[in-house]
Chains A and B, each alone.
Chain A
Amino acid sequence: MTSSRGALAPASPPPAIDRSLADRLAAIVGDKRVLFRPSELLTYASDALPSYHKQPGLAVFPGTRDEVVAVVRELARSNVPFVPRGAGTGLSGGALADGAVLVGLNRLTRVIAVDPENLTATVEPGVVNAALSRAVAPHGLHYAPDPSSQAACTIGGNVAENAGGPHCLKYGVTTNHILAITALLPNGEIVSLGSASGETDGYDMVGCFVGSEGCFGIALDITVRLTRNPEAVRTILADFLSLDAAARAVTSIVATGIIPAALEMIDQATIRAVEASIYAAGYPTDAAAALLIEVDGADAGLERDVATIESICNSSGARTVRVARDEAERARLWQGRKKAFGAMGRISSHLVVQDAVVPRTKLPEVLDKVRRIGEDLRLRVANVFHAGDGNLHPNIAYDANDPDESARVQTAMHAIMRACVDAGGTITGEHGIGIDKLQYMDLIFSPDSLAAMCSLRDVFDPDRRSNPGKVVPMHSCREWHGARSARQDAAKGPPVA
């Protein structure tokens, strides 16, 4: 099945994206829903990662499932590469369309069905994450994965990226919540993956599709698992005079068997940015780090868990530990965390957010390395992250118009990635590879592993037209030689991951 073409993808040079294609697409979706002029396309040249600008050749915004199918089939007939896009809140450049057709799915916002008995909902890909939770709230349910961009990001985009969020520590990431997908393959074929009711035989096609970053096609509808709202929630803020003490508290809490709904760490630089902003949450500005810890579930026994966590924080050296007294205080504590990146925006004109995961016990060591990298390069590295999962988000506020500072930021990002991989970690926990992380794939995957991913992509998209050039570096997409390269790998030693 592996195609025999060489290193370049897509296979053939993309045909001109011209007025005639725009007209054919406009005949499907209407004139207003096709953007062709460079000035109109500027908006779509970036996602939420500001360091890349790639202008699409054309953008099309179908409004119904039938229009999506017709658009993709027209693109298949015309052999034109395309990039599916949800809300464009991604942080890895995954939705950038460099001269390709951008297919915006944000108009497909229908919640098709809610089944409160079976705790499922079926939605179109453009449904906004938080809107889905609002739609099912009357049933006492919510959709558990909660990326910080949940007020804007779409379920289709969440599926593509296998999005996470603070509450994934207890409830799992996107892939743990998707039961079935109707997928439109890049050649226009419609396939049904997984099952909304009962078990399926065969491969885990849903698990395979989730996290494929738009390279396997477009999800036309998605059946998600819904989660009951917990009976009770307690939110705790503990502040520490060293990052190390806070990191040790994290490990101790998880070791008790209590699985907090969320366990977030916020360092001093972030605390100060938040407290100086409109999102001020009452975090102590002189603390080296604060932990935002949430436990939820049945009322019975929850106070015991809170007491256990308080006691662990205290014995790990917490200066103060406080439990939010009411919903308003709880919301305020969370607002500071969720809007932390927004608050950082006050400090400098640009912000770059890194995403990596390390084994939880390596947090103190890696945080220390990150701090030293920042010091060596004279950069302000702040940390606000999912500590319970070991999912780091070091972020650097800088001025992108200063070439020297920009270069130092890039150097720091590389050094941080390397430190995380050296600690046994991975290069992305929830933001995806997109184009931004392509350069690091060789750090954790052997040529044969990358080639296996390429050949999997070729099953779904043999022409490599859907989100071309993302996830797997092009040089890996050669014929899968298997035996020969496996021996070469053996000579080089095991891959890092």
Chain B
Amino acid sequence: MTTVVSLSAEAIADRVRDARTRGARLRIAGAGTWLDAGRPVGSSEELSLAAHTGITEYTPGDLTLTARAGTTLREIRDAVSPHGQWLALDPFGSDEGTLGATIATASAGPLATRFGTPRDLALGLEFVSGRGATVRGGGRVVKNVAGFDLTRLLTGSWGTLGVITEATVRLHARPEADVTLAVSPSDDRIDVGGVRAALKRWPFVPLACEVVNDSLGRELGLGGEAVVFRLGGNSESVAEQRRAIAELAGGPAREVDPSVWRSLRAADDDATLVLRVSRAPAEVSAAWADATALTAPFASARVSASPARGIVRCATQAVGASIEQYASTLAGLRSRIVAERAPVHLWNAPPLARAADPLQSRIRDAFDPQRILNPGILGERAVS
């Protein structure tokens, strides 16, 4: 059963309270573009916020925006871009995803290199807890230390502490210049660690910098392995950034169409296994090597790295017997692994099966004692 809530935050609260009374378990959904992400959810009903849309407050001069959770990133983009602003969040997938889901999953994309993740951009939230109470954390201003930080707690909690109904986010002014460049390696292998070292050395921070492997590079029309930079700032600054990149590349980098970012974000839509492999940024080459080992059985695996953040993302069609091999490789890695999508039996095997952290379980119990919200999505045990 799917309920599309279209009325109000109060209607959502009623819906949660009703489910609680009946002992029903809810799958919280936004636009439904990413429901295959996260662990399998043992729910009996879906609670969709797709119709709970609309920007409720936007004063361009404040560089903040408040919107209902079901508002898509595209709607926000359309509203703020006439004012030369943007919400600098480009999570993998597309702009058809909702603000609520992006914050609930703390999903970030290439722009996190410069602007951080939803944890840095969400200023305040309204949510309905698993107890059915309507709670607000944070506020509508860019700086706020009133009370405990419920906004941070809820961001990335995958709907397990509350159904986010509204969020206030920080916006940024669009830079005067915004240029996308691609560099292909002169020899046959990209030095991810070398890119990271350059990023650390340079006096500027690009808007985004992603290293893509051969199959992803081909799919993006880059011909193979490549480093893709997105540079922002005033024109003098961007000219200097281009010069630094040319020096790294041993020749001028080629300017590519900015649509490459949209394609990159959408490239793994059909993948059944999406993992993020991470280490400290200085060890990003080791994370890249781990990701390469993981994807070795799959010719078409798509791998991209954010060298500044030490995160490598790999996406494959994990099928057939090779899954077991995959699981054993996973278990032997030193990198940290966060899975976005995986086949059911992989979720149940180490290291993706997560031992419940007692402190986090207690937080869950404080906000959703009957565990009716997205039960199982964080690998927690069900309440017996």
A residues adjacent to B (C-beta < 8 A): 1-2, 115, 117-120, 161-162, 164, 168, 172-173, 175-176, 191, 195-205, 207-208, 210-212, 215, 228, 230-232, 251, 254-259, 297-305, 308, 357-361, 386, 389-391, 424-433, 437, 441, 444-446, 448-453, 455-460, 471-472, 480-483, 485-486, 489-490, 495, 497
Are A304 and B143 in contact, CB atoms less than 8 angstroms apart?
no
The answer to whether B146 and A199 touch across the interface, beta carbons within 8 angstroms, is no
Q: What 8 additional pairs, Cβ within 8 angstroms, besides A297-B237, A495-B136?
A: A117-B280, A199-B276, A208-B148, A297-B203, A300-B240, A360-B61, A426-B144, A455-B367
Taking a contact as CB atoms under 8 Å apart, the answer to whether A448 and B133 are in contact is yes
* Interchain CB contact under 8 A, A428 and B146: yes
Partner of B131, one of A256, A427, A453, A480: A480
**Do A359 and B62 have beta carbons less than 8 Å apart?**
yes
Partner of B204, one of A297, A303, A483: A297
Note all chain A residues with C-beta closer than 8 A to B157: 203-204
B336/A490 in contact, CB under 8 A? no
Of the candidates A297, A359, A453, the one whose C-beta lies within 8 Å of that of B141 is: A359
Q: Which residues of B contact A490 (CB under 8 A)?
A: 10, 134
Whether B133 pairs with A451 at a CB distance below 8 angstroms is yes
B61-93 residues at the A interface, CB under 8 angstroms: 61-64, 84
CB 8 Å contact bits of B271-290 with A (1 = contact, 0 = none) = 00000101111110001000
Residue among B120, B134, B354, B365 with the most chain A CB within 10 A? Answer: B134
Complex-state Cα separation, A205 to B240, whole angstroms: 39
Q: Does any Cβ of A come within 8 Å of B344's Cβ?
A: no
The answer, among B136, B175, B236, for a CB contact under 8 Å with A446, is: B136
- Given A203-B156, A205-B359, A483-B131, decide whether A458 and B146 contact each other with a Cβ distance below 8 A: no
Q: Are A448 and B149 in contact (CB under 8 A)?
A: no
Distance, CA A358 to CA B140, complexed state (A)? 9
Quick check: B359 and A389 within 8 Å, CB to CB? no
Q: Which residues of A contact B84 (CB under 8 A)?
A: 255, 257
Write out, one digit per residue, whether chain B residues 351-373 have a CB within 8 A of any chain A CB (1) or not (0): 00010010110110111010000
Q: A291 to B247, alpha carbons, bound, how many Å?
A: 39
Given A257-B176, A456-B153, CB of A164 within 8 Å of CB of B335: no
Question: Which chain A residues lie closer than 8 Å to B59 at the CB level?
Answer: 359, 361
Interface of B: prevailing SS: mixed
Contact indicator A357/B144 (Cβ below 8 Å): yes
Contacting residue for A425 out of B13, B136, B141, CB 8 A: B141
Which of B131, B144, B204, B365 makes the CB contact (< 8 A) with A298? B204
Cβ 8 A contact of A162, one of B145, B360, B365 = B145
A361 and B236 in contact, given A1-B366, A456-B363, A497-B140 (Cβ under 8 angstroms) = no
Cβ of A427 and Cβ of B367 under 8 Å apart?
Answer: no
For residue B155, which residues in chain A have a CB less than 8 angstroms away from its CB?
204, 207
Chain B residue with Cβ nearest A386: B143
Interface residues of B in 282-327 (CB under 8 A from A): 282-283, 287, 310-311
Alpha-carbon gap, A154 to B223, bound state (A)? 52
Interface residue B152 (Cβ < 8 Å from any Cβ of A): yes
Interface centre among B287, B359, B369 (most CB of A within 10 A): B359
Question: Does B262 reach chain A (CB closer than 8 Å)?
Answer: no
Give the Cβ gap from A264 to chain B, nearest Cβ, in Å.
14
With contacts A304-B236, A482-B131, A489-B134 taken as known, whether A118 is within 8 angstroms of B282 at the C-beta atoms is: yes
Contact of B239 among A164, A300, A482 (CB under 8 A): A300
Interface centre among A115, A460, A482 (most CB of B within 10 A): A482
Q: Which residues of the partner chain A approach B283 to less than 8 Å between Cβ atoms?
A: 197
Rounded to whole angstroms, the CA-CA distance of A429 and B143 in the bound complex is 5
Expressed in whole angstroms, the Cα–Cα distance for A211 and B362 within the complex equals 20
Please name all residues of chain B whose beta carbon is closer than 8 Å to the beta carbon of A1 when the two chains form the complex: 362-363, 365-366, 369
| Chain A residues positioned under 8 Å from B144 (CB to CB) | 357, 426, 428-429
The interface residues of chain B lying within 8 Å CB-to-CB of A451 are 133
Q: Quote the shortest CB–CB distance from A294 to chain B (angstroms).
A: 16
Contact at B362–A203, with CB atoms within 8 Å? Answer: no
A448 touches B134 (CB 8 A): yes
Contact B135–A448 (Cβ < 8 Å) = yes
Q: Does B139 contact A (CB under 8 A)?
A: yes
Residue B374 is within 8 A (CB to CB) of chain A in the complex? no
Name the distance in Å between A129's Cβ and chain B's nearest Cβ: 16
Cα distance, A249 to B194, chains bound together (Å) = 42
Specify which chain B residues have a CB less than 8 angstroms from the CB of A457 in the assembled complex. 148
Please report the C-alpha to C-alpha distance between residue A256 and residue B116 in the assembled complex, in whole angstroms: 20
In the bound complex, how far is the Cα of B176 from the Cα of A304, in angstroms?
12
Question: Please, which residues of chain B bring their CB within 8 A of the CB of A486?
Answer: 13, 17, 132-134
26 interchain pairs (CB within 8 A)?
A1-B365, A1-B369, A118-B282, A176-B116, A198-B336, A199-B278, A202-B378, A203-B161, A255-B173, A257-B84, A257-B174, A298-B203, A304-B236, A357-B143, A360-B63, A428-B144, A428-B145, A428-B146, A432-B145, A437-B146, A441-B147, A449-B135, A449-B150, A451-B133, A472-B148, A486-B132
- Residues of chain B lying within 8 A (CB to CB) of residue A428: 144-146
Tell which of A208, A210, A427 has the most Cβ of chain B within 10 Å.
A208
| Alpha-carbon distance A391/B141, docked complex (angstroms) | 9
Contacts of A453 in B (CB 8 A): 147-148, 150
Question: Among A201, A298, A301, which residue has its beta carbon within 8 angstroms of that of B378?
Answer: A201
Contacts of B379 in A (CB 8 A): 201
CB within 8 Å for A257 and B149 given contacts A1-B366, A176-B120, A429-B144: no
Taking a contact as CB atoms under 8 Å apart, the answer to whether A433 and B120 are in contact is no
* Contact indicator A191/B359 (Cβ below 8 Å): yes
Within the complex, the shortest CB–CB distance from A302 to chain B, in Å, comes to: 8
The answer to whether residues A199 and B311 also contact, given A257-B84, A357-B143, A497-B124 and a CB cut-off of 8 A, is yes
Please tell me if the beta carbons of A203 and B310 are within 8 angstroms of each other in the complex: no
Q: Contacting A424 at CB < 8 Å: which of B140, B150, B362?
A: B140
Which residues of chain A have C-beta atoms less than 8 A from B147's C-beta? 433, 441, 445, 449-450, 453, 471-472
CA distance A391 to B233 in the complex (A): 26
Contact of A444 among B120, B129, B139 (CB under 8 A): B139
Q: Contact: B62 with A361, CB < 8 Å?
A: yes
A204 x B106 contact (CB < 8 A):
yes
Closest beta carbon of chain B to A485's beta carbon, Å: 7
Chain B neighbourhood of A472, CB < 8 A: 147-148
| B265 at interface, CB cutoff 8 A | no
- B137: A residues at CB distance < 8 A: 449, 452
Instruction: Tell me if B172 is interfacial: C-beta within 8 Å of chain A.
Output: yes
B338, CB-defined interface residue at 8 Å = yes
Inter-chain contact B367/A452, CB cutoff 8 Å? yes
Q: How long is the Cα–Cα vector from A302 to B60 in the complex, in angstroms? A: 25
| Distance in angstroms between the alpha carbons of A305 and B84 in the assembled complex | 17
Minimum CB–CB distance for A468 against chain B, Å: 15
Q: Point out the residues of chain A lying under 8 angstroms from B338, CB to CB.
A: 199-201
- From B236, B282, B367, A301 is in contact (CB under 8 Å) with B236
Which of A200, A232, A254, A450 has a CB less than 8 Å from the CB of B63?
Answer: A254
Q: Which of B13, B119, B152, B338 has the most CB of A within 10 A?
A: B152
| B359 partner residues in chain A, CB cutoff 8 A | 191, 205, 459-460
Cβ–Cβ < 8 Å partners of A115 in chain B: 280, 282
The answer to the question of B234 belonging to the interface, with a C-beta cut-off of 8 Å to chain A, is yes
Cβ-defined partner of A118 (8 Å) among B106, B278, B281: B281
The residue in chain A whose Cβ has the minimal distance to the Cβ of B57 is A424
Contact of B142 with A by CB under 8 A = yes
Give the one of B131, B138, B145, B240 with max A CB within 10 A.
Answer: B145
| A419 nearest CB across to chain B (Å) | 14
Knowing A198-B336, A301-B240, A486-B13, the reply to whether A204 touches B140 (Cβ < 8 A) is: no
Closest-CB distance, A84 to chain B (whole angstroms): 16
Q: Return chain A residues, CB-CB under 8 Å to B142.
A: 357, 360, 389-390
Query: Are B148's CB and A298's CB within 8 A?
Result: no
Q: Which residues of chain B come closer than 8 Å to A455, judged between CB atoms?
A: 366-367
